[in-house]
Amino acid sequence: MCSSDLGTPLPLLALVTGVLGLASADPTIVITTRNAAGNQALAGVQVEYSMLGHTLGSVVSGPDGEAVVAPRSLLTGKMTFTASKQGFFNDVVETTISEETNKVYISISLAPYLADLPHHMRLVMNWGSTPLDLDLHSVQINKYTGETCTTKHINSHGCPGVSLDRDIREGGVAGGETILWTNPADFFYLLLVHDYSNHAGHLLTESGVRLVLYGNSTQQVARYTCPTVDPKGHSRYWTLGYFDGALGFQSFVLINKLMSEDPNQWWIREVVPTFPSTTTTTT
């Protein structure tokens, strides 16, 4: 059977094209793959791209972690990229190709398996080119004393049993931010994203920010994307949810809410008192 430049059988390409149409320009998609545990370039990652559930082709990242999708004619619509490499969790990213699309940059951070690391968990954040500075936060509260500690860019290794690897300030194309829990048992955790840039023209709802939460089993993966509708207009916080460190991944509760004010105090005041065996006194 004949194939197109996309590597797709022509009858299938015709079917998909009839539904979606062709981009008038010749867009290029530049994919950069990195190791979420350190943000180094990750070579040998296979990235499969598809539309409407049909695989259109695949590329493999080189030594610099880069792979390029540059077909002569690219279909318009939502395209899905699935990145995979042995020893790592898969990552899935979606982007929309329009008739005006010229060049798209996609940053993918693959997280190594945590199967040999009991009680470990990892949260990975990726986003688009703007805002330049999104910060990943983990608010920790001690179950017995009520003391709180926030892991973030200015306190990356100051809270017991949890750490932030780096602070990205050049937009999501520069890589992702990762929080790792190694001993979370005595704490509850609130997970959120802070728009530190606070630029009026760069909204969280348009950032493409996505979070992936990983447990210590290859089956424990949860992917979330930021809401695209903001009732407040310009919220600076995306509150993802919370979990009990003793129970780990399975205890995660999704909030998925945009907020204009720091959700830390709201969480302590409204949510924490409902937890069992937890004092409401905080420091």
pLDDT, one tens digit per residue, over 28-40 is 899 999 999 999 9
pLDDT score for 3 = 35
Cα–Cα dist 248/215, whole Å: 7
The pair phi, psi for residue 239, each rounded to 5°, is -90, 115
pLDDT at 22 over 70: no
Which pairs from 62-66 meet CB under 8 Å and 24+ separation? 65/32, 65/33, 65/34, 65/40, 65/41, 66/30, 66/31, 66/32, 66/33, 66/41
Letter string b/e over residues 78-100, b meaning 16 or more CB atoms within 10 A of that residue's CB: ebbbbbebeebbbbebebebeee
pLDDT score for 153 = 95
Cα–Cα dist 137/113, whole Å: 22
pLDDT score for 118 = 83
Range name among 41-50, 98-107, 271-280 with the lowest pLDDT average: 271-280
Q: Is 0.85 topped by the overall pTM?
A: yes
For the stretch 182-223, pLDDT in tens is 999 899 999 999 999 988 889 999 999 999 999 999 999 999
